[in-house]
Amino acid sequence: MTSRLPQVIPHGSGTRGLFGLGRIPRPAEYVHRAPKIGLITPSGWGNLGDAAIQDAVILNIRRRCPDAIIRIFSLNPVDTTQRHHVPSETISGFSITPGYHVDTRVPVVEWPIEPATSGASEPRAAAQSAGVPELHRTNGSESRPHILSVASAKGVAKTLLRRTGPLHDRMYDAVCEFRHARHARECLAEFDLLLVSGGGQIDDEWGGPWGHPYALFKWSRVALATRTPMAVVGVGVCQLRSRLSRFFMRRALAAAASRSFRDAESSSLAIDWNLSHDHFVVPDLAFGLPVRTARAPLPGERLIVGVSPIAFCDPRMWSRRDSSVYDAVVQRFAEFVVWLSRTGHDIVMFTSDISDQRTVADVLAAVERACPETAGRILNTPTETVDQLLEVLPRLHFAVTSRLHGTLLACAHGIPTMALSYDRKIGSLMTDLGQQDYCLDIETVELDDMTETFGRLKRSADEVRRSTAVRVAGYRRSLDEQFDWLTANFMPAPAPPDHEIVESLDG
């Protein structure tokens, strides 16, 4: 994986955009003050890969700008602020359920967070304790906005009303989104940089075109209106089924002053779909998270294998609902766990997404039915935070994973890993790491395939550890280079030492 750092692209043209947002004059000087940086991420509901990315971005920003003021725009501000200890706000003014659920009950959360904010069951009390301005008036069991001017929302209402659904709900969404865009304009006017910070953000699987494609398009218009540079950093291109999704993404990427993708396949898709032609490739931002290298097992030591199932096609939560596929996935994991136990391995169950905990329970139930004595020897370690996940991984000798960042973080720890891939991005990661021989298709894999591949992985474990360590070290150097470049091009110059200021005044 190679990287190149581009010239800064002039940030947009024109004077007005969606929502009628005029340009806000930017100050001529950016020096002698703490930089203000916004992060955009469609996270907040328990995906630890997304959380790890934001932790890595915040860490790298603070290494270079210790006094930086950071604010995250996400799907769930309460969860985001609790995880990352920075203020957060909603990414959008309306929610699409299922698929792209935005917790608009508490739209702004400051840090340090007040105790009441941690309870989602009392959103209005949490909003008041967090100092959130009242955006809605309650009418019985529902809340509706205090409409100041429906006419002023005419432009956005025309587009949002094209969504399917009752007219009343679409009008409500339109007005809420207009108000959100106005608030975003006021907020972003004070920022030095808006980062679209990693993850599979070029995607419409969850929520369709009016989910994240529209959200990125809206924020790009706001960034243009406020003359705030926007950088798209280390994102993945997943799927864009709709022409409208591609339109939104194309316009959003065109507005960015810098664009980078997390793998070569994402770069190729961006070119094929005419989304971007001037960009560079860097490793996934989660590689920038410091980790402890897992130790190799001692001779004769009982091997510990971490197994991380995925809720692929789970009718309870996946965008593609297929109970037969999900049941087959659960059965394959259960069969493999029984095989591991019978061949002398210790087993640790872990997850990199909270939604997978139900799948772990389903796998353990299947193991209990097939081999009760095995079920009692399995250690189930619920991992609900990045810190908890990073505590579990160094204890493992091998890992069997499916999610992208569960796989990535295991490999970053130097753990020989077998991946059951449900998506192109998993195969791309394993290929980039030189471990494509240990990547299997989750929909077609059989137990014999898993046992044979795992056997080869064990025999090659030392070489896998060495080669992975070399590549991961290179990835971290590339990420350092990218963050250095972003700092040099977009951050305000640091204030000079006090004695230089005094000398300047005396002179």
Do 133 and 199 share a structural domain? yes
The CATH number covering residue 177 comes to 3.40.50
Within a domain: 24: no
Tell me the average pLDDT across 424-447.
Answer: 96
User: 16 in a domain, yes or no?
Assistant: no
Q: Do the domain assignments include residue 170?
A: yes
The answer to whether the Cα torsion of 239, 428, 290, 345 is positive or negative is positive
Q: Do 272 and 352 fall into the same domain? A: no
Q: How far apart are CA 387 and CA 448, in angstroms?
A: 34
pTM of the model: 0.83
Give the mean pLDDT of 59-70: 95
The distance from CA 448 to its chain's CA centroid, rounded to whole angstroms, is: 34
Is 298 within the bounds of a domain?
no
- pLDDT at position 168 is 59
* Residues 275, 312 within the same domain: no
- Does any domain span residue 271? yes
Choose one of 466, 481, 501: the last residue of a domain: 466
CA distance 442 to 406: 15
Regarding whether 359 and 276 lie in a shared domain, the answer is: no
Domains contained in the chain, number:
2
pLDDT at 506: 52
CB 298 within 8 A of CB 460: no
pLDDT above 80: residue 149: no
Winning range, highest mean pLDDT, from 11-25, 41-55, 174-188, 292-306? 41-55
* pLDDT tens-digit series, residues 383-409: 999 999 999 999 999 999 999 999 999
Confidence of residue 499 (pLDDT cuts 50, 70, 90): low
Are 198 and 329 part of one and the same domain? no
Would 67 be classed as within a structural domain? yes
**Domain co-membership, 156 together with 248:** yes
**Domain assignment of residue 138, yes or no:** yes
**What pLDDT band is residue 174 in, cutting at 50, 70 and 90?**
confident
Same domain membership, residue 250 and residue 338: no
Please give the DSSP secondary-structure letter assigned to residue 495: P
Q: How far apart are CA 288 and CA 505, in angstroms?
A: 41
**Average pLDDT over every residue of 482-505:** 70
pLDDT of 173 reads: 80
Q: Are residues 242 and 338 in the same domain?
A: no
Domain that holds residue 386: 304-466
352/236 same-domain check:
no
What confidence category does residue 492 fall into, taking pLDDT thresholds of 50, 70 and 90?
confident
Residues 230 and 356 in one domain: no
Indicate if 79 and 136 belong to the same structural domain.
yes
**Which region among 96-100, 215-219, 318-322 has the lowest average model confidence (pLDDT)?**
96-100
Tokens of 463: 């070489």
Q: Is residue 25 part of a domain?
A: no
Average pLDDT over residues 19-37: 58
pLDDT at residue 106, as a whole number:
82
Supply the pLDDT for residue 494.
Answer: 60
Percent of the chain at pLDDT exceeding 70 = 79
Residues 21-45 have a mean pLDDT of: 71
428: domain CATH number is 3.40.50.2000
- When pLDDT is averaged across residues 345-361 and rounded to a whole number, the result is 96
